[in-house]
Amino acid sequence: MPDPDQYVSLVKVKKIVKHNLTSRYVLSSGDYLTGNKKLAIQGTN
């Protein structure tokens, strides 16, 4: 089993974007971070 510490990353959040009930974090690299499964799948396409 892999070491759980391999999956831990520290990211810097530039701002929080709120749209209706969904919150997304804009990272300093310009990427978005979300816990919403539908948005995460949509972003990979």
Cβ-count burial 16-35 (b if 16+ within 10 Å, e if not): eeeeeeeebbeeeeeeeeee
Q: List C-alpha distances in Å: 25 to 2, 7, 10, 14, 36.
A: 27, 19, 13, 7, 12
Of residues 45 and 16, which shows the higher confidence score?
16
Q: Distance between CA 23 and CA 19 in Å, rounded?
A: 6
Indicate if the pLDDT at residue 45 is higher than 70: no
pLDDT of residue 15: 92
pLDDT of residue 33: 84
CA atoms in the 13 A half-sphere facing the CB of 13:
8
Task: Give the tokens for residue 20.
Answer: 């209706």
Give tens-digit pLDDT for 4-43.
Answer: 667 777 888 899 988 888 888 898 888 888 877 777 777 6
